[in-house]
Amino acid sequence: MKDRRNGIIQLAILVALGAAVLLSLAAPDLEGRDRSREPVEVSVLIRSADSSLWANTRLGMEQAAGDLGAELRFLTPGADNDREEQKELLRREVERGTDALVLAPVDPADLGAEWETLTRGTPTVTLESELPEAVALITPDNEALGWALARRALEEYRGGTVLLLDCLPENTGVQARVEAAEAALIRGGATVLRWSETGEEELIRLDEEGALAQVVALEIGATEAAAQAKERAGSSAALYGVGVTSRIAAWLERGTISAVAALDQGALSAVAAWSDYAAGYLAVQQAAGAAREKTEPLTETLPFSVVGGDEIYESEYQKLLFPVMS
């Protein structure tokens, strides 16, 4: 009787072991069918040497990576908007075997000409500028943004020259803003000087001649450079820019001591701003989804607001300008 009971126990153990083996053999197939939580690596390539310009975007990316089980590699170039360096970094990340890419392209046309060689089919999400081969584009409506910022400048235009900074002629997203802003300013009767540098030399010359009324910058780095140039020159020209960084928020804040006069005396009069945090989150979400074959190509158009120095403490703009503190 005892031997019979032992035999039954041994048989049960063998059955259990057999079931465990079958399950272990089946497990890879089950995992192959559901890749939704597999870790993926996403390489992020920005176009600015100053990574602080993308700090809010990175916060959103890191939040998405934590939520979605992705690992980020954040690559900063040695020089601003160096197309050759960006292509080399892109090539290197693909050779390393990264699962997906998030890219703020310096020169979309140049990248597109070598796309297959550079990416070898690696899913790519772009910020700002469109690449037809990318699986997603995360950007504000660039044409509408340029038009809206120009209209804000025209509301306060009282004659003189508007210095329109055109610093990235190869970047299609930024160019769409510049073209729209120029068209709106001319249509509104402004005298426009389109300038291809950061604007400091021309800003000083025009300011000394008493001809400079306003400066319009349509790219975040150009906005910061123009604000610094304006402060160094002691210029009273109104500056209108784009983007949100801690420095841009501080320049806006300095312009709120008194509503109208301070806008003229502060470094920055108004900015067109969108949620860089949301842009970063959406970019990684789309990149990780594409790597896991769970996303369809899309264009995510981000809403934006034009915010003046006297508006920065309004509740609707707090999370936009101060995403970490809000």
- 142-273+307-321 has the same fold as 40-140+276-302: yes
Question: What is the domain partition of the chain in residue ranges?
Answer: 40-140+276-302, 142-273+307-321
Cα 297 to the center of its chain, rounded Å = 18
- To the question of pTM greater than 0.95 for the whole model, the response is no
Cα of first residue to Cα of last residue in the chain, in angstroms, is 74
Architecture (CATH level 2) of domain 142-273+307-321 = 3-Layer(aba) Sandwich (3.40)
Nearest to 48 by CA among 237, 220, 175: 220
Rounded CA separation 168/324 (Å): 29
Hey, which bits of the chain come out as E strands? Answer: 40-45, 70-75, 100-103, 124-127, 136-140, 161-165, 191-195, 212-217, 238-242, 270-274, 298-302, 304-308
Residue 51's pLDDT is what? 81
Residue 285's pLDDT is what? 93
Residue 30's pLDDT is what? 37
Residue 184's pLDDT is what? 98
| 218 residue type, one letter | L
Count of CB atoms within 10 A of residue 192's CB? Answer: 19
Residue 193's pLDDT is what? 92
Phi, psi of 274 (to 5 degrees): -135, 175
Count of CB atoms within 10 A of residue 134's CB? Answer: 28
Residue 22's pLDDT is what? 40
**Low pLDDT (below 50) residues in the chain:** 1-34, 255-266, 325-326
Strand 270-274 relative to strand 304-308, pairing: antiparallel
Rounded CA separation 76/58 (Å): 12
CA distances from 124 to 69, 104, 106, 119, 300 (A): 18, 10, 15, 8, 14
DSSP per position, 271-291: EEEE-HHHHHHHHHHHHHHHH
pLDDT tens digits, 125-158: 999 899 888 999 999 899 999 999 999 999 989 9
Residue 31's pLDDT is what? 42
CATH of domain 40-140+276-302: 3.40.50.2300
Rounded CA separation 292/67 (Å): 15
